[in-house]
Chain A
């Protein structure tokens, strides 16, 4: 591998970056917990972890975008305060954000000099930048037309402009946050060539990603983050995708769910060749086909961001896609006025969304209002043609809170004053008590305490036992393993394979989650 030159340099010099005990909380969420890391000069250092593991927060701290609550930053061995981005730039750090920070209607040149102008007048700066860009382009394969307007450029070229911006500011340390997320495979390959070039010129590169293939292909060292903590730092040459997958997903005490073997009945949901293209024109679902029977829980395993969210969104009627979806044998509209969430509910598809606080409820509304959402047209909730029967909803909510053990059982309390677990129970009560044919449930126990997890799992199994179909999406492998009757693993918008929980193990699933079947990576194809 290319790691050898990097290792030699590392032995002689102080690390380009050293972080000591960095912590950062956003309100109650601890995004970074006591993180320490050393990045050797002239290497490509990967930081891998699931979405929400705290990678981007850590790098934003390093770039002066956020202030750490505690901890120390050392650049080339010198303790350095980075209160703002200007300080980071002075310290030789350049950052390529996941969402580019470019002015869309400016030319490439204007974007490059913005904030790094040489004087009050633009003309000399522009002339100098034009010259420097020419040199950089030749040196690193970073060709971009300097006079082109950003919005006319492809995403790959826009990214090059971001890299050029950093290099123009004499960055020695380049941080790239999920750089390949929006790139085509060819563009990604080109990017990696650029990064290798940069490394050969002695630049230090930090690559943030959740893609194992990229880590294995290009990094010298890799650090793994999980739930705000740095769980391991290893030499890439001395590790394997399997080990990294395990470190990323982690192991947790296996929660036993008491359930009897499934009694699958007729097919409830049938999905054929489902495709979703997002607003950046990236294909998020690349032809998904699956079936779920009555009385069966299908668990979708996968590292977050591999299309699971899009699958739930299309089935739930909150995103558009192409393909065929049949519910109880009838084809469901994927476009037009009958493709919305309301129509899905009317057909018997209930949805417990992944993002509870944004899609599942309105946090400032009270619990009883939240239990009516989506079903507020229910005649039982109407007093007459114009008025809603709030008392009926309130009464109904009281019953739901009792049956689902929501604490405190006060319907008039606003949703945000409940704990995560109790919020989830409110949503679950709303969806499950409608007795749907199919329950879509995403990350049912994210941010939920142990006691509530057990309760929620029990309710999902009960629904299955009542002969309903359940599609469970979770990034928690244990949850998938213990709840599912069948497991499908998603990677890069495709289903890598299906397994039975009793016929597989975490190791095998971890490999599939990394896109590896029989030792080959799915992405490479």
Chain B
């Protein structure tokens, strides 16, 4: 593998890791508050469809983005009502929403555009176009670091940078603010929050709403950044991979960045069978490569990462007890 190829793979790693990172951080807020959310996938899908459709209709990716966030938010709130207000089973609610999203996105896209459940191809201002960071051109001549900066770091859509900014922001919010303290507390022991006179319900809804926004960003990036429009099941299990990354990351923002970059790297590798062949010396069937990130997911979930302790109150509706 030569340097140029490596740069190419790292470049696509960045792009592929972005929806994973956004979804992973989305899950982080929800699960840190004690609400398990297996419905990241459904929310991303919903956001992708809304973004794809609205961007196609209006020609503006930003209006599309808002629509995506709104679509994801509706699902987030349904999950919130089911699991916080009605104290329902969070896994069942999440799975149900995933199924609903899988069907309803295709249904809406088909009835709007009659293109086999896809949204029309996006181009120009209806997509997230690459942003050239300053000095990318000037520095590209510098050996190693130059191309790395110009290709890998620079030249991505806005959401890639927003996702990266979300990492320190989340860390800061979680560990340096009052909101973060309460959020972490409510996921560990809601009774402690309740007896301190803080509303468990309000905190958890706040977390679920943030999850909705972040999933909205992830889905919008899928439809208008990574691809050129919405297609059936286009998230392809990324919501679940993000959950695996969240466990891998032990519910911590910086680890989440590392974990999703790793998963992104495997996804990028899967797109380059030629490189694999060049490196290993034999052909690896493409389906096997496609399965790589998922195999890694299984390995991670099987506890390969050691003991990851989830927020202690996770998955349990809060009921006052004597």
Contact = CB atoms under 8 A, between A and B. Distances in A.
Contacts of A116: 196
A121 B178 contact: yes
B177 A115 contact: no
B110 interface: no
Given A106-B185, A122-B177, A115 B322 contact: no
Interface in A309-342: none
A110 B193 CA distance: 12
Contact of A106 (B176, B188, B191): B188
A114 B197 contact: no
A122 B176 contact: yes
Given A60-B322, A115-B197, A120 B181 contact: no
Contacts of A117: 178, 181
A101 B197 CA distance: 12
Contacts of A56: 322
* Interface footprint category on B: 20 to 34
B185 A120 contact: no
A422 to B, nearest CB: 27
Interface string B170-181: 000001111111
Interface in B176-209: 176-182, 184-185, 188-189, 191-198
B116 to A, nearest CB: 49
A84 interface: yes
A95 to B, nearest CB: 7
Interface in B199-229: none
Interface in A100-123: 101-106, 110-111, 113-117, 119-123
B173 to A, nearest CB: 10
Contact of B176 (A57, A89, A121): A121
Given A101-B191, A104-B312, A115-B182, A120 B177 contact: yes
A32 interface: no
B198 A115 contact: yes
Interface residues of A, number: 35
A165 B192 CA distance: 11
B307 interface: no
Contacts of B198: 86, 114-115
A65 B192 contact: no
Given A104-B312, A105-B188, A120 B178 contact: yes
B181 A102 contact: no
Contacts of A121: 176-178
A84 B189 contact: no
B179 A114 contact: no
A65 B194 CA distance: 9
A113 B198 CA distance: 12
A111 B197 CA distance: 13
Nearest to B188: A103
Contacts of B175: 122
A521 interface: no
B179 A115 contact: no
B194 A85 contact: yes
A104 B177 CA distance: 19
Contacts of A95: 195
B181 A110 contact: yes
Contacts of A381: none
Nearest to A87: B197
Contact of B196 (A60, A85, A87): A85
A119 B181 CA distance: 12
A89 B194 CA distance: 12
A84 B176 CA distance: 27
Nearest to B186: A103
A110 B178 CA distance: 10
Contacts of B320: 65-66
A97 interface: yes
A57 B322 contact: yes
Nearest to A115: B196
A204 interface: no
A104 B181 contact: no
Contacts of A371: none
B308 to A, nearest CB: 13
A106 B185 CA distance: 8
A101 B192 contact: yes
Nearest to A102: B192
Contacts of A120: 177-179
22 contacts: A60-B322, A66-B320, A84-B197, A85-B194, A86-B198, A88-B197, A101-B195, A103-B189, A104-B188, A106-B184, A106-B188, A110-B185, A114-B182, A114-B193, A115-B193, A115-B196, A115-B198, A120-B177, A120-B179, A121-B176, A121-B178, A125-B178
